[in-house]
Amino acid sequence: MRKHVLVIVLVASLLQFASCSDDHDPKPTVARGAGRVKIVYDDAGIKPENRDVVKQIRDSGVFDRLADRATKTLALPHDLVVKVSDNVPFDDPSTDVEGRTIFWPAGWLNTARMLLAEFVPEVIRDKGVPKAIGAQNFTPDTLNIWANQFILGHELGHALIHQLTIPMTGMEEDSADGFATFFTIIDKETGPNAALGAAVLFDAFAAKKPNVTMEDFSSDHPVVQQRIFNFLSAVVGSDPQKLENSLVTDGYVPKTRAPLSRKEWTQLNYGWWKALEPHIADTYKKEGDAARAQARKDLDEENAVLPGKIKELRRQQSSQ
Torsion of CA 45, 48, 49, 54, to 10 degrees: 60
CB contact at 8 A, 189 and 197: no
Least distance in angstroms from the C-beta of 94 to Zn ion? 8
CA distance 185 to 35: 23
Binding mask 123-162 for Zn ion (x = CB under 5 A): ----------------------------------------
Least distance in angstroms from the C-beta of 9 to Zn ion? 43
Least distance in angstroms from the C-beta of 154 to Zn ion? 6
Question: DSSP string covering 136-203, please?
Answer: TT-SHHHHHHHHHHHHHHHHHHHHHHHHTTPPPSS-HHHHHHHHHHHHHHT-TTTTTHHHHHHHHHHH
Kind plus residue range of the DSSP H or E element containing 116: helix 106-126
Nearer of residues 176 and 235 to Zn ion, judged by Cβ: 176
Residue nearest to Zn ion (CB): 176
Please give the order of strands across the beta sheet that includes 94-95. 37-41, 80-85, 101-105, 94-95
Least distance in angstroms from the C-beta of 150 to Zn ion? 12
CA distance 295 to 302: 11
Segment lying near Zn ion (by CB under 5 A), choices 13-21, 45-53, 172-180, 191-199: 172-180
Least distance in angstroms from the C-beta of 172 to Zn ion? 7
Segment lying near Zn ion (by CB under 5 A), choices 6-14, 68-76, 175-183, 196-204: 175-183
CA distance 35 to 156: 13
Segment lying near Zn ion (by CB under 5 A), choices 55-63, 104-112, 169-177, 187-195: 169-177
Segment lying near Zn ion (by CB under 5 A), choices 107-115, 127-135, 168-176, 286-294: 168-176
Sorted by sequence, the CB contacts under 8 Å of residue 68 that are 6+ apart come out as 37
Buried b (16+ CB within 10 A) or exposed e, 107-119: bbbbebbebbeeb
Asked if 224 is part of the footprint of Zn ion (rule: CB under 5 A), the reply reads: no
Binding mask 54-93 for Zn ion (x = CB under 5 A): ----------------------------------------
Single residue of 66, 106, 112, 176 touching Zn ion by CB under 5 A? 176
Size of the site for Zn ion (CB under 5 A): 2
Least distance in angstroms from the C-beta of 255 to Zn ion? 30
Q: Which residues bind Zn ion (CB under 5 A)?
A: 173, 176
